[in-house]
């Protein structure tokens, strides 16, 4: 492992706004953060937390949690939060299929999934963040009418997600193929992650949907 990467991973364990799933003290901080009387929004597989950070600036009366298993990525988001003096965003290093171990049933207001790995091969299907095993967890922790957002450049993943969410009983409110025509109507979609900028540079269209479970 490169030295700088390992250094960031080690430092991430010491940063106050990063909670590691193995740290009982940190999990206490997470519980306190969630217990505040504010809506809770998750960004899953957040990387450096672009959406969590951007939304935290826009909505100071909501609390945001970026979730990823890669500690060095969370280090970048945590440092940005410190620089911007954002006290309504923290980061959780954890596996996404363990979310229901950290969040109570019907406690989350929104979930954002931005540019997840599409895991294009059939044998990788269970790793897709819109596979039924993950959807079951989202449905468990989301409040009634809580919103799930998906943003992706991958046509196959988008179609797959529309199908799997529909089968799971989600009611789609917005379904956009090529969001560029709709950015004025949905300004939050103007936020661009590193991956979005990369995909746009290669000429790919960006798709978006949001839905809520019945």
Give me the active site residues, please.
Answer: 117
Q: What angle do CA 116, 25, 9 make, to 5 degrees?
A: 45
Q: Which residue, among 211, 67, 198, has the nearest Cα to 78 in the 3D structure?
A: 67
CA 110 to chain centre: 9
Cβ-contact 177, 207 below 8 angstroms? yes
Distance CA 41, CA 63 (A): 6
CA 169 to chain centre: 21
The phi, psi pair for 189, rounded to 5°, reads: -75, -5
* Order of strands across the sheet that contains 89-93: 18-20, 89-93, 63-68, 40-44, 108-114, 142-152, 207-213, 170-177
């Amino acid at each position: 492992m490169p030295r700088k990467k390992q250094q960031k991973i080690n430092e991430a364990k010491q940063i106050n706004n990063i909670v590691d799933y193995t740290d009982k003290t940190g999990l206490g901080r997470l519980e306190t953060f969630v217990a505040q009387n504010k809506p809770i929004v998750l960004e899953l597989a957040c990387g450096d937390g672009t959406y969590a950070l951007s939304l935290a600036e826009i909505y100071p009366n909501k609390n945001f949690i970026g979730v990823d298993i890669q500690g060095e990525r969370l280090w970048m988001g945590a440092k940005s939060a410190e620089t911007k003096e954002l006290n309504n965003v923290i980061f959780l290093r954890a596996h996404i299929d363990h979310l229901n171990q950290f969040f109570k049933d019907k406690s989350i207001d929104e979930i954002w999934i931005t540019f997840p790995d599409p895991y294009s091969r059939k044998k990788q299907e269970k790793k897709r963040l819109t596979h039924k095993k993950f959807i079951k967890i989202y449905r468990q922790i989301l409040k009634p009418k809580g919103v799930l957002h998906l943003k992706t450049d991958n046509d196959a993943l988008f179609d797959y997600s529309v199908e799997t969410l529909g089968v799971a009983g989600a009611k789609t409110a917005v379904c956009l193929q090529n969001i560029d025509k709709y950015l004025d109507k949905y300004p939050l979609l103007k936020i661009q992650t590193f991956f979005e900028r990369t995909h746009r540079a290669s000429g790919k269209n960006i798709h978006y949907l949001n839905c809520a479970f019945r």
